């Protein structure tokens, strides 16, 4: 039983701050609770009304669409770019460690400071974005303060009418996706590079002897043997993207406009601005359910596609 003595501090912390909050969230999400003065009677019992209220709330649905856009824009691009960088670094190139470190620095930078710096890059009037666009002869943009969709903006530039379906995410949301890619790139590259270096060179030599060219090598050796790494990155980056909060909160000083508002910000506002504790807990659970479903789907796909050596 000495084992429990060793475990006690860690176990107490995990139970109090991980397990208990989830159970309590499930409990409170069934009550119309506001500010809670008694832990076990949080307000009138409403059953699943909070869930129904969340799922039919247009602001919630809009924030969910924004979140999905954000995930779709960040995860594949960051993974593609990190694969490209890792593949270049894997050529035993001179200065490899230096490059690796350079790409990694954003990951250790605080997101609050980084958000301030990036706001200045995408500043709607005098930022670097407009300077660059001016130099390229493109029209000035309002960047992080542009609520119109990128599809609409492209349509305006080319003088084409864009149907509502193709307006796409707001330019502001695209800007924040760029920041997230910048931040995650180094981490993804390190993981990807570790995956690439673990592929035995005999595999490549054998394939080369069979007459495989660079593309065939990539398709038939690299991708299958890298698939556990790719799978790990897809899952963890998707979960991380669903949890994004700091960029949004800091860039807009806590007043996030509806065209960029993601679910985590919506949850924060419901819980800590409107003090709708039960409603906000329901938002959290719905988000959890979505992420969990996605993870299970990704795992099911991976079972057929991922090759563990």
Partner 1 sequence: MAVVAVVRRRRRLPRWSDVAAHVVLSIGAFLVAFPFLWMLLTSLKTLPESAGFPPTLLPREPQWGNYPAAWAAANFVLAFRNTLITAVVQTTGLVLFASLAGYAFARMRFPGRDLVFLVFLSSLMIPEEVRLVPSFVIVKFLPCPVPIDTICNPRGGWFDTFTVMTVPFMAGAFSVFLLRQFFLTIPNDLWEACELDGGGHWSYLWRVVLPLSGPAVLTVALFGFLGSWNAFLWPLIMTNNPEIRPLQVALSIFRSQEYGTNYPLLMAAATFSIAPVLVLFFFVQRQFIEGIARSGIRG
Q: Does 7 bind partner 1 (CB under 8 A)?
A: yes
Contacts of 224 (CB under 8 A, 6+ apart): 307
11: helix, strand or coil? helix
**Could you give the 3-state DSSP secondary structure of residue 281?**
helix
Which letter does DSSP use for residue 16 in this model?
I
Q: How many of the other CB atoms lie within 10 Å of CB of 18?
A: 9
Site size for partner 1, by CB under 8 A? 100
> Contact between 93 and partner 1 (CB under 8 A)?
yes
Q: Which two tokens stand for residue 295?
A: 């993870």
Q: Residue 133, interface with partner 1 (CB under 8 A)?
A: no
Here the tokens at position 250 are: 């800091």
Contacts of 192 (CB under 8 A, 6+ apart): 79, 82, 83, 85, 86, 226, 229, 233
- Comparing C-alpha atoms, which of 25, 61, 67 is closest to residue 42? 25
User: Considering only 46-54, 72-80, 141-149, 228-236, which stretch makes contact with partner 1 by CB under 8 A?
Assistant: 228-236
Report in angstroms how near the CB of residue 7 gets to partner 1 at its nearest: 5
Among residue numbers 42 through 61, which ones bind partner 1 (CB under 8 A)? 42
CA 212 to chain centre: 36
Instruction: Show the site string, 164-203: x = touches partner 1 by CB under 8 A, - = not.
Output: ------------------x--xxx--xx-xxx--x-----
Are 247 and 72 in contact, with CB atoms under 8 Å apart? no
Output 91 or 304, the one with its CB closest to partner 1: 91
Choose the binding region for partner 1 from 72-80, 160-168, 199-207, 239-247 (rule: CB under 8 A). 239-247
Closest distance between partner 1 and the C-beta of residue 206, in Å?
22
If the CB atoms of residues 204 and 245 are measured against partner 1, the closer one turns out to be: 245
Residue of 31, 60, 69, 118 interacting with partner 1 (CB under 8 A): 118
Tell me the HSE value of 267 on the side-chain side, using a 13 A CA sphere.
21
Q: Give the range of 50-58, 69-77, 126-134, 199-207 binding partner 1 by CB under 8 A.
A: 126-134
Residue from the set 75, 114, 174, 225 that interacts with partner 1 by CB under 8 A: 114
* C-alpha span between 99 and 59 (Å, rounded): 43
Residues 140-169 touching partner 1, rule: CB under 8 A, are none
Applying CB under 8 A, which of residues 47, 56, 58, 97 lies at the interface with partner 1? Answer: 97
Cβ distance 142 to 124 under 8 Å? yes
Of the two residues 2 and 201, which places its CB atom closer to partner 1 in the complex? 2
**Is the Cβ of residue 61 or residue 239 nearer to partner 1 in the bound state?**
239
Task: Specify the residue, 152 or 264, whose C-beta has the smaller distance to partner 1.
Answer: 264
Binding of residue 309 to partner 1 (CB under 8 A):
no
Contacts to partner 1 from residues 63-92, by CB under 8 A: 81, 84-85, 88-89, 91
Report the residue from 17, 160, 201, 209 that binds partner 1 according to the rule CB under 8 A. 17
Residue 27 neighbours by CB distance under 10 Å: 15
Element (H, E) at 103: helix 96-108
Answer for the pair 155, 161: CB distance below 8 angstroms, yes or no.
yes
């Amino acid at each position: 039983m000495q084992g429990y003595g060793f475990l006690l501090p860690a176990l107490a912390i995990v139970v109090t701050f991980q397990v208990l909050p989830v159970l309590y969230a499930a409990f409170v999400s069934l009550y119309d609770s506001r500010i809670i003065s008694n832990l076990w009677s949080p307000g009138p019992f409403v059953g699943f009304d909070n869930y129904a209220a969340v799922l039919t709330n247009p602001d919630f649905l809009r924030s969910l669409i924004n979140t999905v856009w954000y995930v779709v824009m960040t995860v594949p691009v960051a993974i593609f770019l990190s694969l490209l960088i890792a593949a270049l670094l894997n050529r035993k190139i001179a200065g490899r460690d230096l490059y690796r470190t350079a790409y990694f620095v954003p990951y250790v930078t605080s997101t609050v400071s980084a958000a301030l710096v990036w706001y200045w890059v995408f500043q709607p009037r005098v930022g670097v974005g407009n300077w660059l666009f001016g130099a390229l002869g493109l029209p000035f943009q309002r960047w992080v303060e542009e609520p119109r969709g990128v599809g609409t903006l492209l349509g305006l530039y080319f003088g084409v009418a864009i149907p509502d379906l193709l307006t796409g995410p707001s330019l502001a949301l695209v800007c924040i996706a760029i920041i997230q890619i910048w931040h995650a790139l180094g981490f993804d590259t390190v993981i990807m590079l570790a995956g690439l270096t673990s592929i035995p060179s005999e595999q490549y030599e054998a394939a080369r002897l069979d007459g495989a060219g660079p593309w065939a090598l990539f398709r038939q050796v690299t991708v299958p043997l890298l698939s556990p790494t790719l799978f790990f990155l897809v899952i963890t980056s998707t979960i991380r993207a669903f949890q994004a909060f700091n960029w949004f909160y800091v860039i807009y000083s806590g007043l996030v406009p509806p065209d960029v508002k993601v679910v985590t910000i919506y949850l924060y506002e419901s819980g800590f601005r409107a003090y709708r504790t039960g409603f906000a807990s329901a938002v959290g659970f719905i988000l959890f359910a979505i992420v969990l479903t996605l993870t299970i789907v990704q795992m099911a796909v991976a079972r057929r596609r991922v090759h563990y050596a």
